[in-house]
Chain A
Amino acid sequence: MALFTRTTKNVILKIDEFFDTVDLGLLVFREGIKAYLHRDMDAFERHIQKIESLESTADMLQRSIENEMITHSILPQHRVEVSSLIDQMDEIIDSIKASLNEFGIEMPEIPASLNNSFIGLAEASASAAEELIPAARAYFRAPHTVREKLLKVYYYESETDTISRNTKRIIFQGMKELELAKKAHLRYIMQNIEKISDRAQKAADLLSAMAIKIIM
């Protein structure tokens, strides 16, 4: 039995640490994108290394939490949902790593006029995921407040879509001098940034259902 034992406390600490890791990953993502757009490649490389390490930590924490929940019979009724939530949040940090790596490997040529649009897109997408974290924390302590916190996730996800749509319109309709291959490349890079908010929304849907189940 996991009552008052080190295991119970460990699981709580690990869940909090996992959320911290995702939160930190989002900060790194923002700074990484800014560094790339400002051509500060040293800082960008540092951020890539940081996100690699954070992603690895998140994976280890995820496995450890799931194992401890199973072996010590912690949260038997909510274990599947909590594992799914953690898995979906892990996908967010996976997307961050994938997106930053794409920048690092493919080195997309982003016109300076689009810098603000890309920063705005990254900000909105990261904000959607950032707003998910307090909601996920609230699930464990105050499930009644989860839904109101999730509103911001949906707002920023919609904001990300709007910025992305407008930027794509500018790229494909306003930049006649840009080659089609470069346009397609930029679209591809933007889609990967959007993935972060899409995954946050998917996790928010799950969290919302989990909160209802626990309140009822």
Chain B
Amino acid sequence: MILLFLTSGLFLGWSLGANDASNVFGAAVGSRMVSFRMAAIIASVFVILGAVLQGSGTSATLGRLGAVNALGGSFTVALAAAITVYLMTKVALPVSTTQAIVGAIIGWNIFTGNPTDGKVLSQILTTWVAGPVLGAAFAIILYILLKRIKKSSRMHLVVFESYIKAGLIVAGAFGAYSLGANNIANVMGVFIPAFNLHDLNLGFITLSSSQQLFLLGGLAIAAGILTYSRRVIETVGSNIMELSSEAAMVTVLSHALVLFIFSSSWLSSVFVKIGLPAIPMVPVSASQVIIGSVIGIGLYKSVRNINFRILGEIAAGWVATPLFSGLLAFLSLFFVKNIFGIEVGSRIIAADPLEPGTTPFPSPDPNLSGILHYLILGLIVTGASAVVFYYLLDRRKRTGFRKSEERFWKYIK
């Protein structure tokens, strides 16, 4: 039953992957520098790494916004956010999962009569503004820098483009890592208190309970990237503004930097050490950051380069997402509680859900750890096999093509 409840979170992860991969590789694929397949595989691998290795910081912040204290509530909140993201993705709008989950949590707060923490909410809302502004600033600085390097180096265009292509892949991998680290809270944050799993030793790393959940969430995100992200990637990549290859790289890099800044506790502690205020660990809207970066480059070049109609549609999605998600969560919670009779949460506010021993949830089935361990291992093996299979298939295709070319030229000669 508990695993069934988890499916809504996995669905949300899948929606996040389908939608937010566009933020990482949309510009690269749109500028035709990286193929969709390569982008999808790199994004999938690194999003999982980011989620598992660095995903805990932002989860705590979401927990403070609204500590969903019943598994039925977690399921419904995640489902409402997932349906919102899915519907927005269906109409090819780069919707923000962060906004969807925040809207759904506030919907839960209203339904259960819990107050919404104004401080945390304002912190989140501030990053919604700061994210795109920082993205634009980074993009402008990096773009000017890159242009100067290009001009002064007198590098051959073919070599320069090769560097850019490599840069796009590295920046995309970094972006996917940061996305996993920053946005996994949206997917699995509300489930963390419900699961107390035994540590999972994979040989090279031991995963804690929350990390196992993050891994499952990361795999769901990867599934979303591989199966459904193509359409949104093409929207972001080519419709907002015609992006040159270097602009594409700068966009991805600035997006990755912003997401990394808002999810790296290490960087935050460095800030504190040098006397600066700590950086809030907040899930940032990756969509807003990438659009901010694109706008930054557009402003630097010329305002005329920007397709404002598409920007308007995206901005409408930003307003509609939390409102729709909050309303859907509220209505769903009503149905789940009154029709199915499932507990969705109460007015009692729990302490920080990440702190061990403070959760009001019942202990999970002792067999659950074993089932999840096998599930995770099975998914990892399947995913790795699929990647290897694809790589070999692609290599075979390329080799065949090269041999055919060589035969042709031999014949001509």
Minimum CB–CB distance from B48 to chain A (whole Å) comes to 22
B412 touching A77, Cβ below 8 Å: no
Chain A interface size range: 20 to 34
Contacts of A111-132 to chain B: CB distance below 8 A: none
- Would A141 and B156 be within 8 Å (CB), given that A3-B165, A64-B409, A71-B401 are in contact? yes
CA distance A78 to B32 in the complex (A): 10
- Measured between beta carbons, the chain A residues less than 8 angstroms from B161 are 74-78
CA distance A196 to B35 in the complex (A): 40
A77 touching B245, Cβ below 8 Å: yes
Question: Is A151 at the interface (CB under 8 A from chain B)?
Answer: no
Determine the residue in chain B with the shortest Cβ distance to A76.
B32
- Measured between beta carbons, the chain A residues less than 8 angstroms from B32 are 73, 76-77
A1 touching B165, Cβ below 8 Å: yes
CA distance A68 to B35 in the complex (A): 16
Question: Is A184 at the interface (CB under 8 A from chain B)?
Answer: no
A3 touching B33, Cβ below 8 Å: no
A141 touching B166, Cβ below 8 Å: no
CB-CB contacts of A25-57 with B at 8 A, as 1s and 0s? Answer: 000000000000000000000000000000000
Question: Is B363 at the interface (CB under 8 A from chain A)?
Answer: no
A144 touching B151, Cβ below 8 Å: yes
Question: Is B396 at the interface (CB under 8 A from chain A)?
Answer: no
Contacts of A175-216 to chain B: CB distance below 8 A: 214, 216
- Measured between beta carbons, the chain B residues less than 8 angstroms from A15 are 158
Contacts of B52-69 to chain A: CB distance below 8 A: none
CA distance A4 to B161 in the complex (A): 11
Contacts of B277-308 to chain A: CB distance below 8 A: 301
- Measured between beta carbons, the chain B residues less than 8 angstroms from A73 are 32-33, 35, 165
CA distance A52 to B151 in the complex (A): 39
Determine the residue in chain A with the shortest Cβ distance to B31.
A77
CB-CB contacts of B376-413 with A at 8 A, as 1s and 0s? Answer: 00000000000000000000001001100100010010
- Measured between beta carbons, the chain B residues less than 8 angstroms from A12 are 156, 158-159
- Measured between beta carbons, the chain A residues less than 8 angstroms from B401 are 71
Question: Is A110 at the interface (CB under 8 A from chain B)?
Answer: no
CA distance A67 to B408 in the complex (A): 12
Question: Is B154 at the interface (CB under 8 A from chain A)?
Answer: yes
CB-CB contacts of A117-160 with B at 8 A, as 1s and 0s? Answer: 00000000000000000000001111110000000000000000
CA distance A15 to B159 in the complex (A): 13
Question: Is A170 at the interface (CB under 8 A from chain B)?
Answer: no
Chain B interface size range: 20 to 34
Question: Is B155 at the interface (CB under 8 A from chain A)?
Answer: yes
Question: Is B77 at the interface (CB under 8 A from chain A)?
Answer: no
The winner among B151, B154, B162, B409 for most chain A CB atoms within 10 A is B162
Contacts of B105-164 to chain A: CB distance below 8 A: 151, 154-159, 161-163
B245 touching A2, Cβ below 8 Å: no
- Measured between beta carbons, the chain A residues less than 8 angstroms from B159 are 8, 12
- Would A71 and B33 be within 8 Å (CB), given that A1-B166, A8-B162, A141-B155 are in contact? no
CA distance A75 to B165 in the complex (A): 9
- Measured between beta carbons, the chain B residues less than 8 angstroms from A74 are 158, 161-162
Minimum CB–CB distance from B298 to chain A (whole Å) comes to 12
- Measured between beta carbons, the chain B residues less than 8 angstroms from A142 are 154
A77 touching B244, Cβ below 8 Å: yes
CB-CB contacts of A76-117 with B at 8 A, as 1s and 0s? Answer: 111000000000000000000000000000000000000000
CA distance A64 to B166 in the complex (A): 24
- Measured between beta carbons, the chain A residues less than 8 angstroms from B409 are 60, 64
Minimum CB–CB distance from A146 to chain B (whole Å) comes to 12
Question: Is A163 at the interface (CB under 8 A from chain B)?
Answer: no
CA distance A1 to B163 in the complex (A): 10
13 A-B contacts (beta carbon < 8 Å) = A1-B165, A3-B162, A8-B159, A11-B158, A60-B412, A67-B405, A71-B405, A73-B32, A73-B35, A74-B158, A76-B33, A76-B161, A144-B151
Binding site for A on B (CB under 8 A): 31-33, 35, 151, 154-159, 161-163, 165-166, 169, 244-245, 301, 398, 401-402, 405, 409, 412
List 4 other contacts, CB 8 Å, given A3-B162, A60-B412.
Answer: A3-B166, A71-B398, A77-B161, A141-B155
